[in-house]
Structures are given as structure tokens and as C-alpha cells.
Amino acid sequence: MNKIKDNLVLKPQLVMVLLLALVFPLVFFQLFSANFISWDDADVLLKNKDVHQFNIKAFFTKHYVGNYAPVTMIGFAIDWALFHGSAFWHHLINVTLHFMNALLVLLLIKKLTNNLWVAFLVCILFSFHPTQIETVAWVAAKNNILYSFFFLAALICYVKYSQQKHSKYYILSLVLFALSALSKPSAICFPFCLLAIDYFVQTKLTAKTFINKIPFFVISIIIGVVTIYSRTEDKFINESHAFAIHERVGYAGYAIWQYIYKFLFPVNLSVIYPYPANKTISLVVGYGVLIVLGALCYRLVKRKNKAVILGLSFFIINLLLVLQFIPFGEVLTADRYLYLPIIGLGLILFSLIKFKEKEYRFLSIGLMVVLGSMSFVRTSVWKNSISLYSDIIDKYPHSFVALNSLGAEHMLNKNYQVSQQFLNKAIEENTNYYKGYYNRGLLFAQTNRMNEALQDFTKAIELKQYPKAYVARANVYYVMKDFPKAISDADTVLKLDENNVKANFVLANCYDDLNQMDKAMGYYNKAIALNQDEPNFYLRRAILFGKMQQFALCLNDLNIATTLNPQYAEAYYWKGVAKVNLNQSPCEDLKQALNMGFQAAQQPLMKYCR
């Protein structure tokens, strides 16, 4: 009888899971043909040698894009080992993890409220609300999904511990929390969520309630300290947004209002929401929101409305780290920051309304259709970088960050005229935006306008001691044969980072042209040791070997260069030259170089291959 009864209880939940499984591929279908995005995808995955080499030691000793997240990096390494650079599979992984998180949300809310319909409605909001698209669609945001998976699983275990008092659930919750914190530092708010659950589950908070949180807080403090260090090291602490404390508090209230508004009215979504233009109005609104929230919390506690208190607590706690009390990045709010907090808002909403079962069914289907349709439309924006940045500019035409990114993307596609228009606009919008000058300098360098490139790189350096701008300026000085200045800039970079591969390569080229061969060889060796996949490094070292009459070593480097890049015409030409000096037939390589358009191969081909 008990088994039959259990099956009857589980049946509606199973139907809900199957319905979610059916709708998920429809809503996220367009992501399966989407490409990678130039923001962070390259740094954490596409060009990350540690990921490609599955360097476990590096994952636990280094930080990436301001985050110490070894578990996430292991996840990226597994994905790369299986799928390499296939955007389809990486998007599929994100969607699958999001689906798993949705099931955990269903289970968590069911355990907390003992109301399956409330749990299902919150799950639908979490699954298909349009603000969730940013996290799911952005490959680099896998850290957001992965830390949430462990976070939600740890909460479920803790709820079981609170209800059953079995220590195994406490230990499992602690382990899962540690994995969450090692996936993304945002997890460090977890102990405060436990206190909120304790208040919801228990009739009275005791000393033991706080004592058993100590291990969780210890992990949070350690990860918090590491995060401040990594974000400072990677220059993610944004001093331009280091407002006075009373302004930060006001902006925090304003951000909370924005998140609530986007939750209720998910229209005109964007990857970037700039700081509000009118500081006074936004601060007044922010403080007003905080006062209202304070009064609301007081009334809720008095009325002992625990479900709403839990939802509000969960929402606020999981936003605390992104309310810009410690300023980072260029924006005040972001859709991805609502990924977990939206659970709290959903719990509030559906705890306040009571329906009959038939009405719950209609509401569930309606919510899936409306939110699913909105999310389906939103996924189209993530087709590629240009479509994404263009969408931002459509909504925020004065966003210098988006203008700069769109200009850089067009530059990558060699649309130089269009690129310059966007970069000029970015600089007009913010004359102190160093990245705008840096990218426009790159454009000028690529289009052989070296004096203009120097001016922009110098301006970028004046605004911020930006290593990339020093390297780029050093390279321009090298092209202009101003070797002392090129060496000076490259040396400046190496004082900050001795493993900067581009600075080492510029120095190698300078000393090569100055015929200081031993110095040049040392820097070429260092550059190749740092990056063994760049064919140009091997070409330049091969030419130096040729100068030193070491033609066997020269030919070996050229073979590596053409292996790495089979279309490298210049390398085939020099292979022919090396083979002449080794008394080998150069004809095949010289023909290959000429067929690829390298005209310098024609004369030696006629001379040695008649």
C-alpha cells in the first residue's frame, strides 16, 4: 500500500519533470547554432592553454578573468577534452546544467514548502525567465551555472539535515558548498542562506544553530580573501566607480529595484545596464527602496510570514556581492546576477497567491508559454558577438563599453572603416576610456598608420598603466625601427610580468635586428617556451638560426611552423632557403610558397629548380 501511495504522490512530479524536459529544447533551440562571444570565452576556454592541457595544478594555483574557480576550470577542461572548440556542444552543456539546476529548484522548494505547485511555478520562473538567458547562452558563464548546481544541492542536503538531524547530510552539505565556492566565489553568501533556512524550518534559533555554521563561514572567509586578491591582481576592481559609502548604499538600493523591475517586466533586456545618468534621482530611489524593504521586513517578522521572509532573504543575500559595495566591472546590474536570486522572488510571488489545482495547471502552462516565448526571442541576440553588442547599442546608444566591443569585433573581421566609426564613438562618449584608445591604436597599427597608433597607445598608457598598450606600442616602435623605445616599453612590461609572451617576442625581434644574436635567441626561446603553438615564433627563431649558420635547427623550426600553420607561405619559402644550404632539394617548398602567393620564392625557384 505504501509503495502504491508513494507512486501516486510522485506521479505529478514526474509529469512536471517530463514537461520541463520537453519544453527546454524548444526554448533554447537557437543557442545550439550560436557561436562563442569575444567577452571572456577566449580567456577561459578557447585560448586557455591550461584548459587545453588539462593542467590541474594551474587550476588550483592560478586565477582566470578575476576569479579563483578551480572546479569550473576542471569543467571547462573536461568539455575541451571531449568537444574542443565546438560551440554546439559547449552550449548544450550549459543548457543541460541549467536543466539540472531547474530540477534541484523544484526539489528544494518542494522540501521547504511541502507544496508541489508552488515548487513547480518557482521552477518554471527559474527555468524560462528571460533574464536567465544571459547565464545559459554565455559559454564563459558556465561558472554561474556550475556553482549554482552545487549551491542548490548543498541547500537540499542542509534542509534534510534540519528536518532529519542526520550528520551525513550536514557533512555532504559542507562538501557541496566547498565545491560551489571553488566553482565561483559568489557562493560565499551560502552560510547566510542557511541561517534563513534555519529561521524558516525551526521554531527557535539556538546557539547550536550558529555554531554549526562556523565551518561554512571559515570556507567563505578563505574564498573571500582569495577573491579580493585575484580581482585586484586582474584589475577588476574599478576605481572609477569607487563612490562614497553613502552613494554605494544608495546605488545598492537602486540596483535592487532594477532587479525587481526586470523580474516583473522582463523587456528591453541587455547585457549591459550603464550606471544611471542622474545620480541624485537614482540615489533617492535607492534609499526609498531600502526604507520600504526595511519596513516590509519588520512587518513580515511581526506577522511571522516565514515563506515571504525566506524568499526575500534568499533574494537579498544572493545579491549582496554584486551590489557594487566593492566596485568591479563597468555596470551596476546584470541579468546573470539574478540567476539564483530569482528563486527568492518566485517564492515570494507564489507564496502570496493561493489557487485551486485546476488554476495552478492553467497558470503553469501559461507561464511556460509566455516566458518560454520571450526567452526564445532573447536567445537570438546571442547568435554571435556582433549581434549581441549591436543589441546593447540599440538600447543604450551611449554605452562606450558596447561601442568599443563592437568596434573591436569589426576590426577582427577586417571591417576597418566600420570599426573606426564605433571606436571613435566610444572615445567620444568617454574620453577617459583607455580600452577605446588601445583598440583604436590596434586598428591604426593594422592599417599602417603608425604615428596615429603611437598617439592612441600613449594616451591609453597615460590613463592607465595598461600592459597590453605597452606591448602594442613597443611593437609599433619596432616596426618604425626605433629599437631603444621598443626595448624600453617591452622591459617595462616584463618588470610587471616576466612571462608576458608578446613582450618577450618584441625584445627578441629588436635584438635580432640589432644583430645581438645571443640576446635575441634567449628571448625567442622564452617566447616559445611560453607559447608553443605560435608558428611566427618558430619562423623568426628559424631565421635567426639561419643567420648563425645552424641550418638543421633552422629547418626543424620551419617544419614546426608549417605543421602549426599549413598555409604559412613565408615558412615554406625559408624552408626552401634552408634546404639549399643543406644541399637538399628546395623545389617542393619553393613551389608551395609561390602557389600561396609568396612572390619572393619565384627567383630561387627559377635558379635551383629548372
3-class secondary structure, 447? coil
CATH number at residue 553: 1.25.40.10
Chain segment 552-585, per-residue pLDDT in tens:
999 999 999 999 999 999 999 999 899 999 999 9
Quote the CA–CA distance of 56 and 401 in Å, as a whole number: 34
Indicate whether 430 belongs to any domain: no
Domains in the chain, number: 2
Please state the φ and ψ torsions of residue 115, each to the nearest 5 degrees.
-130, 105
Parent domain of 586: 534-610
**Cα–Cα distance, 557 to 485 (Å, whole number):** 29
Residue 4 has pLDDT above 50, yes or no: no
- Where a domain ends, among 382, 414, 430? 382
440 is a domain residue: no
Q: Say if residue 119's pLDDT is above 80.
A: yes
* Residue 124: CA count within 13 A, CB half-sphere: 26
- Mean per-residue pLDDT, 133-152: 94
**Cα gap 502→474, rounded to integer Å:** 10
Which pLDDT tens digit goes with each residue over 242-267?
677 888 888 888 889 999 999 999 99
First to last CA, the chain: 94
Is 394 contained in some domain? no
Domain boundary among 382, 403, 432: 382
**In-domain check, residue 599:** yes
CA angle 171, 314, 217 (to 5 degrees): 40
Assess if residue 216 is contained within a domain.
Answer: yes
Question: pLDDT digit string (tens) for 340-389?
Answer: 999 999 999 888 877 787 888 899 999 999 999 999 999 999 999 999 99
Determine, yes or no, domain membership for 408: no
pTM listed for this prediction? 0.85
Contact 546, 520 (CB under 8 A): no
pLDDT at 1 over 50: no
Q: Which of 365, 382, 399 is the last residue of a domain?
A: 382
Name the pLDDT band for 238 (thresholds 50, 70, 90). Answer: low
Cell numbers given for 569: 607561405
Would the pLDDT of 236 be above 70?
Answer: no
CB atoms within 10 A of CB 122: 30
What percent of the chain is predicted at pLDDT more than 70? Answer: 95
- For residues 277 and 120, the model is more confident at 120
Comparing 230 with 14, which gets the higher pLDDT?
14
Helix 190-201 crosses helix 87-113 at what angle (to 10 degrees)?
A: 30
Q: Is residue 522 part of a domain?
A: no
Question: Does residue 418 form part of some domain?
Answer: no
